[in-house]
Amino acid sequence: MSERTAREKERAATGAYRSEIRVGSTGRVSLLEPEPPSSAALLAGTPGTGDSTVLDFPGADRRRRRRGWAIGAAVTLAAVAALIAVLVFSPVLALRQVSVTGNRLTGTRAVTDALSSLQGIPLPQITRDEVRNRLASMPAVEDVSVEARPPSTLAVTVHERVPVAVLKEQDRYLLIDQNGTQLATATDRSTVSLPIIDGGTAVIGKDVFRAITAVLAALPADVLAKMEHASATSVDSVELTLQDGKKVVWGNSSQRELKAKVLAALIARPQNPGTPAVQTYDVSTPSRPVTR
């Protein structure tokens, strides 16, 4: 047996390749050498074996998707930031008009003049504190609320302190709150439906004055509007006079809320026919009020 034949038999036995046999026309048997596999076959692997020389990385697609999401999120955030910048800094929303409501003692012109320095500032940059600080010098203004109304209007609602009495000073009437703060002035008494406090802090003293204003602050608005005078010689002897001349004996400033409710009920009670008209309401002991 030739050396070549031996090698071929050995390869066939070991499965190195599959030999093919050809029988010639003369009856001679010969072995055909197998063709070497092509490069495409090498890359694709041997069919049926489950082997492959191409590596598959499924995580790469996930990374690409994540990268796409991250880029999309970054673009969205940038767009939102740009929109905010436009709203905050754009002159399109600059303040050009101020609307004022809620003011009775404070003039509208005075409020708009005090806020004139805010003209031209974009509405999103104007805060409630800035408005309040500019109106802080106005005694009647206790607080404010603000609302931006695009494109160029700022709505300001003024919350004023409540006047409870009037002090007469020469030919003027000074409207004061419970703390004695002067809120406004009037020259015509008929335009002010508040009681006059006889004297003032300089005459009756601070403690007595505060006792009177505390009593007046406790009265319902409709009852307070019926009062003409308020006076006291001490903190325990507050007296009120209604516009029709009737008197109210109040006493000290304790139990103010209860006394105010009792007084309102007594004033609203109809007069009994055939009985003398009430001239005095005594609520100094609110659990046992007296009329006479």
Pick 213 or 46 by higher pLDDT: 213
Which of 9-13, 45-49, 209-213 is predicted most confidently? 209-213
Phi, psi of 263 (to 5 degrees): -65, -45
- Residue 198's pLDDT is 79
- Mean pLDDT on 34-45: 53
Please determine, for residue 59, whether its predicted confidence score (pLDDT) is greater than 80: no
- Mean pLDDT on 99-116: 97
> Helices marked H in 90-135 — which ranges?
108-114, 128-134
Q: Which domains does the chain have, with CATH numbers?
A: 91-160 (3.10.20.310), 165-291 (3.40.50.10960)
pTM: 0.67
The strand order across the sheet containing 97-101 reads 97-101, 153-160, 141-149
- Residue 101's pLDDT is 98
Pick 24 or 166 by higher pLDDT: 166
- Mean pLDDT on 79-86: 66
- Residue 38's pLDDT is 55
Q: How confident is the model over 256-281, as pLDDT tens digits?
A: 999 999 999 999 999 888 889 999 99
* Cα separation, 182 vs 178, whole angstroms: 10
Write the single-letter amino acid at 221: A
- Mean pLDDT on 241-255: 96
Q: How confident is the model over 134-170, as pLDDT tens digits?
A: 999 999 999 999 999 999 999 999 999 999 999 988 8
- Residue 11's pLDDT is 54
Q: Where does the pLDDT of residue 48 fall: very low under 50, low under 70, confident under 90, or very high at 90 and above?
A: very low
H/E element, 177: none
- Residue 280's pLDDT is 98
- Residue 77's pLDDT is 80
- 152: tokens are 């160029």
Report whether 30 contacts 20 (CB < 8 A): no
* Cα separation, 165 vs 117, whole angstroms: 35
